[in-house]
Structure 1
Amino acid sequence: MSLLLPLALLVALLVDRLREPPSWMHPVVGMGRYLGWFKLTRLPAPLAFVAGALAWLLGAALVAFIALWLEGQVLLRLEPWLSPWRLAAAAVLIGLLLKPLLAWSMLADEAMAVETALRESLDAGRARLSRLVSRDTSQLSATEVREAAIETLAENLNDSVIAPLFWFAIAGLPGAAIYRFANTADAMWGYRDEREWSGKWAARADDALSWIPARLTALLITWPTLRLWHEARRTPSPNSGWPMAAMALRLGLRLGKPGVYVLHADGRQPSPDDLHAARAVARHAVVAGGALLALLAYMLRT
């Protein structure tokens, strides 16, 4: 049984190139639909906070229950401790259930599509980037579009790959599901606008669950240095700065969000080849991270 989750984790990464489930059955799409039901922004601040927290807790409990039930059904029906063949079958099934909770190939393809669009025109690059980021892209230069795409690739390397795998290693399918719910809730609710109070719990929950994985992601990208620590603290988020700063330092790039932060200010501006370089660095981090977290899952269960 100690091999079940490590094998399932590796299966999920191996089948990552498979097509995503249709939207009607994709778990992350379902999480988004649940979160979209709540219209809490017109409530007074204290009540909005309480309502947002309760909605988050109910959603987290639901996704944890569903994930635990699915994982339990696999274990109950296959009894993987009885033979290697049953173990392999259970690992494949749990790996297939884990796969929609992570998205490395999709992330890499979307980031590279920004560079492809930029070769067509600046407006095309801005439009493609707008699918990945929440910031206004209409006035960005080609350099700023590339900066944002590389930052998004680095940040979502944590959010969409390393963090779900980390929590899967710790707590199985329910751990990965709760993390993805928390990250989706933060992406939909965690803004400093009219959603601030209703999304405050969601934002803090995502911060807490991403704290260790974000730093692990940074260390999978580059070596730990005092410079990394200083650069990572320049962003408003306590976590997203770590993988972004790591990527900036690894590639020697200046990355930033206009008017908000600059990472590795003495680095060079991104060139058309740097998105390819960032994807290669991220791919190596996925391989190393997958092996490391599979080992962690094994060690926790022996």
Structure 2
Amino acid sequence: MRVHRAYAGGAVLGYLGDMLLGDPRTGHPVAAFGRAAAAAERALWRDSRAAGAAYAALCVAGPAATAALLTRGVRRTGRTTAFISLSAAVTWTALGGNGLSTAARSVEAALEAGDVPSARRLLPQLCGRDPQLLDAEGIARAVVESVAENTSDAVVGALVWGALAGVPGMTAFRAANTLDAMVGHLSPRHRKFGWAAARLDDVAGWPGARLTSALAAFAGPCPRGAVRAWRSDARRHPSPNAGPVEAAFAGALGVRLGGTLSYGGRTEHRPVLNSPGRAVRTGDIARAVRLSRRVGLLSLAFTTAVGVAGRLAVAGTRTDGRSRTT
């Protein structure tokens, strides 16, 4: 029972650490992983899917195995406080809700001040689209879309995998998500090499995206609109995970998302999500941030409850098995 309570306690403390402190200012493990993954890419890059698959497996399995060994070592000490500390530290560094909210509100402040050039300069903190081609409305829409997608990627998805597979699961998810951001796009260099990383991120992000969409519908201002947009528009989006999340946020907030955008000089014409909604305004950024925070808190409550229940069930099954064989 102590281990199960320790898991929940560590997740809650890590979540609070992210909300109150934000990302570690120095020595962030995700930044260290990014540097190591970039070095591995330079050494292993080939213009083939097979090379990319080997690269993705190495970059995700390595951190996950390290986390598993560390977790096993801490559990063998029998010290509940040590296990809580490990879970809290990994949760804190894996989550990015505070950074997401801060970056979104900084763009909002620039737009509110009428400083579109500053808003364009700040936008790359949130997404990779070309800011110079966007007006104030386009920037606001990009921020709301990024808040929606990253609520799943930077908060809910990590908590889901923590509930399913503990510290190793959360570590593996964060590694896969970071790797996708690095190589999982359709640039000429990464079209083949990044294919495996992108597909791995799609698989890992699937449960978190659906939970995010459901919680956005439950906690948003317009639950019926969120469900309607999710059901009618999500499948039209090119991303299997961003589609449901962005559609649910669009319907919940009563706004239109999607449309034409530009990434790295490439123009994409994405479907409009929640077409009955109005155009995004600057004030919708704050509304999206508030919804993101509600979704994060609800996902923390849900995943810790599920995680503890699942571990208790496994422990009970093992106990029953031992009792039958004695």
Which residue matches 1:69?
A: 69
- Please report how far the alpha carbon of residue 249 of structure 1 lies from its aligned counterpart in structure 2 after TM superposition: 0.4
Worse-matched range after superposition: 121-130 or 290-299: 121-130
Name segments (4+ residues, structure 1) moved above 4 Å.
none
Q: After the TM superposition, which residues 5-16 of structure 1 pair with which residues of structure 2 at under 5 Å, given as runs?
A: 5-16=7-18
Q: After the TM superposition, which residues 123-162 of structure 1 pair with which residues of structure 2 at under 5 Å, given as runs?
A: 123-162=117-156
Query: How many residues of Structure 1 are paired with residues of Structure 2 in the alignment?
Result: 291
Percent identical pairs in the alignment equals: 32
Amino acid at match of 1:201: A
- Please report how far the alpha carbon of residue 117 of structure 1 lies from its aligned counterpart in structure 2 after TM superposition: 1.6
How far, CA to CA, are the matches of 2:149 and 2:228 in structure 1? 20
How far, CA to CA, are the matches of 2:229 and 2:280 in structure 1? 20
How far, CA to CA, are the matches of 2:215 and 2:98 in structure 1? 18
Amino acid at match of 2:304: A
1:219 counterpart = 2:214: yes
- Please report how far the alpha carbon of residue 149 of structure 1 lies from its aligned counterpart in structure 2 after TM superposition: 0.2
Which residue matches 2:258?
A: 256
- Please report how far the alpha carbon of residue 282 of structure 1 lies from its aligned counterpart in structure 2 after TM superposition: 1.1
TM-score by length of 2: 0.84
- Please report how far the alpha carbon of residue 119 of structure 1 lies from its aligned counterpart in structure 2 after TM superposition: 2.8
Which residue matches 1:20?
A: 23
How far, CA to CA, are the matches of 1:109 and 1:42 in structure 2? 35
Structure 1 residues 107-149: Cα deviation after superposition (integer angstroms, max 9, x where no partner): 1111111111223411111111122211111011111100000
> SS of the residue aligned with 1:275?
helix
How far, CA to CA, are the matches of 1:61 and 1:225 in structure 2? 36
> SS of the residue aligned with 2:249?
helix
Which residue matches 1:169?
A: 163
Which of 287, 299, 323 aligns to 1:289? It is 299
Which residue matches 1:301?
A: 311
- Please report how far the alpha carbon of residue 228 of structure 1 lies from its aligned counterpart in structure 2 after TM superposition: 1.3
- Please report how far the alpha carbon of residue 89 of structure 1 lies from its aligned counterpart in structure 2 after TM superposition: 5.1
How far, CA to CA, are the matches of 2:215 and 2:21 in structure 1? 25
Amino acid at match of 1:71: T
Structure 1 residues 214-251: Cα deviation after superposition (integer angstroms, max 9, x where no partner): 01101110147354122212211111111111111001
Which residue matches 1:201?
A: 196
Do the aligned partners of 1:8 and 1:95 also contact (CA within 8 Å) in 2?
yes
Amino acid at match of 1:143: E
Do the aligned partners of 2:229 and 2:250 also contact (CA within 8 Å) in 1?
no
Do the aligned partners of 1:74 and 1:94 also contact (CA within 8 Å) in 2?
no
- Please report how far the alpha carbon of residue 19 of structure 1 lies from its aligned counterpart in structure 2 after TM superposition: 4.5
Do the aligned partners of 1:154 and 1:244 also contact (CA within 8 Å) in 2?
yes
- Please report how far the alpha carbon of residue 88 of structure 1 lies from its aligned counterpart in structure 2 after TM superposition: 4.6
Structure 1 residues 157-177: Cα deviation after superposition (integer angstroms, max 9, x where no partner): 000000011001011111011
> SS of the residue aligned with 1:231?
helix
Amino acid at match of 1:140: L
Structure number with the higher helix fraction is 2
Structure 1 residues 46-88: Cα deviation after superposition (integer angstroms, max 9, x where no partner): xx211111111111121012212332333233x14xxxxxx35
> SS of the residue aligned with 1:266?
coil
Gaps of 5+ in 2: 218-222, 261-268, 313-326
Which residue matches 1:244?
A: 246
> SS of the residue aligned with 2:236?
coil
Structure 1 residues 234 and 244, CA gap change in structure 2 (3 angstroms): same
Do the aligned partners of 2:45 and 2:51 also contact (CA within 8 Å) in 1?
no
> SS of the residue aligned with 1:283?
helix
Bigger relative contact order (CA 8 A; separation at least 6):
1
